[in-house]
């Protein structure tokens, strides 16, 4: 645990008592503060009481008298579509609002220790963060992985000299944190997501941008395949040759004298001052299939090069990376048919990248569709033989997918059975939902687990 600094003798309100909220309460108590906890659910309040925390209804009048600040869990809205009532009360009482990420950054980093690499973006954050962690561990570094992946940031062991902390940070986390001081900040890409929470695309980008504009990293690794990334790189760099900014792309060679890492046709190349200084053949890296994973590889390569690792050490580590569950995860191969679980592909952009990673696809999609549906996926369906649609948006998706055969299956069980029965050797049965899971599953992990279970049952019966 990392004790929070600057809270000794002060009352600190904590709203939301899930993983990050309880972790924050423990770290505040360890730092000498007095946590005052609240959760809208009785179960969360009971968890806090079981650990001896004071639970107080922060929605009642006068609840913020004597409170120094409010710590809010990531899932609780603080601005759009409208602030939670407790957040509104805190703001009305002029009480500062922060989150566990802000507490982390203000409680570590004395004298530049440890090194902190923070990864944000729309897609690929988890794989990129896990890959950075894997590369550093393979090089013998002492590393801890936290944030949106792994442990809560305040649950980490106090880092020592030479240690590295790798954080995956969502827009919910970067938007609210009052302190953001990473040594290396990574921006993978940007595509529409969580727009209601951020008041539109501009607010969503602004939330990501704070990691750089307010974080002031020593090195900024920025994906420039979207206009927002190019804009951000331009804002962070003093000139074309400023090597504090490392631009990454899977679309094109990047001109100029600066530092860049590019992956094209399966080959990663590092360029500095107009010269190629490193290269990796990513086609042979089994844990990173497809251009979207090649973008993740570029980001991880750049971040670890920024910490001084050699190209050969990074390449060696790439080959031993097994990938993450629910992200282009090869589940099984049955009679020449591969079954791939990309349940994390919860939006159109992620699904497009998953579809482009394979040549012959039988596509399982659907769930709780997002604004705009899947119409934008039409240009990416050239490899799809048929779509098997599940969940709440199955019929809407069926209307929108006009260029390929579709079958409304409703449930994962029916979709897996139908796709497996019709798949031919050399094809891939791909779960890439392009939708949220909440209509049928509590999260994308449970959805992916169900897919894996059903594929396993095919092996037993087929």
Q: What is the pLDDT along the chain (462 residues), one digit of tens a residue?
A: 999 999 999 999 999 999 899 999 999 999 999 999 999 999 999 999 999 999 999 999 999 999 999 999 998 999 999 999 999 999 999 999 999 999 999 998 655 579 999 999 998 899 999 999 999 999 999 999 999 887 899 999 998 888 999 999 999 999 999 999 999 999 999 988 788 899 999 999 999 999 999 989 999 999 999 999 999 999 999 998 899 999 999 998 898 899 999 999 999 999 999 999 999 999 989 889 888 899 999 999 999 999 999 999 999 999 999 888 898 888 999 999 999 999 999 989 889 989 998 999 999 999 999 888 999 999 999 999 999 999 999 999 999 999 999 999 999 999 999 999 999 999 999 999 999 999 999 999 999 999 999 999 996 654
102-319 CATH, one of 1.10.730.10, 3.10.310.30, 3.40.50.1100, 3.40.1190.10: 3.40.1190.10
Cα separation, 174 vs 98, whole angstroms: 10
| Beta-ladder partners of 97 | 70
Q: Are strands 406-410 and 384-390 parallel, antiparallel or unpaired?
A: parallel
Helices in 42-124 by DSSP H: which ranges? 42-50, 85-92, 100-107
Q: Which tokens is 331 given?
A: 């589940």
- For residue 260, CA distances in Å to 257, 275, 305, 390, 420 come to 9, 10, 11, 41, 42
pLDDT at site 461:
52
Task: Give the angle subtended at the CA of 106 by the CAs of 100 and 109, to the nearest 5°.
Answer: 120
Q: What is the sign of the dihedral through the CA atoms of 393, 327, 149 and 202?
A: negative
Q: Are strands 406-410 and 428-431 parallel, antiparallel or unpaired?
A: unpaired
Helix, strand, or coil (residue 389): strand
308 annotated as a binding-site residue = no
List the one residue out of 335, 355, 386, 327 whose CA is nearest residue 126: 327
Annotate 119-188 with DSSP letters as a single string: EESSSSHHHHHHHHHHHHHHTT--EEEEESSSB-GGGSPPP-TT-EEEEE--HHHHHH-S----SEEEE-
Going from N- to C-terminal start, the domains of the chain cover: 11-98, 102-319, 329-461
Helix, strand, or coil (residue 115): strand
* DSSP label at residue 49: H
* E strand residue ranges, 2-101: 11-15, 34-38, 54-55, 67-72, 97-98
Q: Give the CB-side neighbour count of residue 365, counting CA atoms within 13 A.
A: 36
- For residue 130, CA distances in Å to 209, 290, 317, 321, 396 come to 22, 17, 12, 9, 35
Residue 34 phi/psi, 5-degree rounding, is: -115, 100
| pTM of the full structure | 0.84
Burial of 385 (0-12, 13-18, 19+ CB in 10 A): middle
Helices in 51-115 by DSSP H: which ranges? 85-92, 100-107
Distance of CA 135 to the CA centre of its chain: 18
* DSSP label at residue 79: S
121 annotated as a binding-site residue = yes
The correct answer on CATH 3.40.630.30 for the domain covering 329-461 is no
126 annotated as a binding-site residue = yes
239 annotated as a binding-site residue = no
Q: What is the sign of the dihedral through the CA atoms of 438, 133, 181 and 294?
A: negative
pLDDT at site 191:
87
Q: Which tokens is 451 given?
A: 């897919």
pLDDT at site 460:
63
124 annotated as a binding-site residue = yes
Cα separation, 364 vs 367, whole angstroms: 10
Looking at CATH, the fold of the domain delimited by 11-98 is given as Rossmann fold (3.40.50)
Distance of CA 4 to the CA centre of its chain: 25
User: Is the previous residue joined to 114 through a cis bond, with omega within 30 degrees of 0?
Assistant: yes
List the one residue out of 258, 225, 220 whose CA is nearest residue 240: 258
């Amino acid at each position: 645990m990392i004790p929070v600094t600057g809270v000794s003798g002060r009352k600190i309100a904590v709203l939301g008592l899930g993983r990050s909220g309880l972790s924050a309460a423990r770290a505040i108590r360890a730092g000498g503060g007095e946590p005052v906890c609240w959760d809208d659910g009785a179960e969360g309040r009971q968890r806090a009481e079981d650990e001896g925390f004071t639970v107080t209804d922060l929605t009642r009048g006068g609840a913020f008298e004597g409170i120094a600040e409010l710590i809010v869990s990531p899932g609780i809205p603080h601005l759009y579509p409208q602030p939670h009532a407790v957040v509104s009360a805190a703001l009305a009482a002029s009480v500062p609002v922060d989150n566990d990420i802000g507490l982390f950054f203000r409680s570590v980093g004395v004298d530049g220790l440890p090194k902190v690499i923070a990864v944000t973006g729309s897609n690929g954050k988890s794989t990129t963060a896990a890959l950075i962690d894997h590369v550093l561990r393979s090089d013998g570094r002492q590393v801890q992985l936290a944030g949106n992946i792994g442990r809560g940031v305040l649950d980490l062991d106090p880092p020592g000299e030479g240690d590295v902390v790798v954080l995956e940070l969502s827009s919910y986390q970067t938007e609210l944190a009052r302190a953001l001081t990473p040594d290396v900040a990574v921006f993978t890409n940007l595509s529409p997501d969580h727009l209601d929470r951020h008041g539109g695309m501009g607010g969503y980008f602004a939330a990501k941008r704070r990691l750089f504009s307010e974080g002031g990293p020593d090195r900024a690794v920025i994906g420039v395949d979207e206009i927002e990334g190019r804009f951000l790189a331009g804002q962070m760099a003093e000139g074309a040759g400023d090597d504090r900014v490392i631009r990454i792309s899977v679309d094109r060679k990047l001109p100029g004298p600066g530092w860049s890492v590019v992956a094209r046709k399966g080959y990663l190349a590092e360029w500095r001052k107009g010269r190629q200084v490193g290269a990796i053949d990513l086609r042979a890296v089994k844990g990173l299939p497809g251009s979207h994973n090649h973008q993740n590889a570029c980001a991880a390569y750049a971040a670890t090069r920024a910490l001084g690792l050699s190209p050969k050490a990074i390449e060696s580590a790439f080959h031993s990376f097994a990938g993450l569950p629910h992200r282009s995860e090869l589940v099984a191969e049955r009679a020449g048919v591969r079954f791939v679980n990309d349940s994390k592909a919860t939006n159109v952009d992620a699904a497009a990248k998953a579809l482009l990673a394979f040549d012959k696809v039988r596509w399982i999609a659907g769930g709780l569709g997002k604004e705009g549906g899947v119409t934008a996926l039409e240009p990416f369906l050239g490899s799809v033989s048929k779509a098997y649609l599940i969940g709440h948006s199955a019929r809407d998706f069926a209307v929108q997918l006009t260029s390929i055969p579709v079958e409304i299956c409703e449930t994962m069980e029916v979709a897996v059975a139908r796709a497996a029965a019709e798949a031919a050797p050399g094809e891939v049965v791909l779960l890439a939902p392009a939708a949220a899971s909440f209509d049928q599953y509590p999260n994308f992990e449970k959805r992916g687990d169900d897919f894996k279970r059903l594929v396993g049952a095919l092996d037993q019966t087929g």
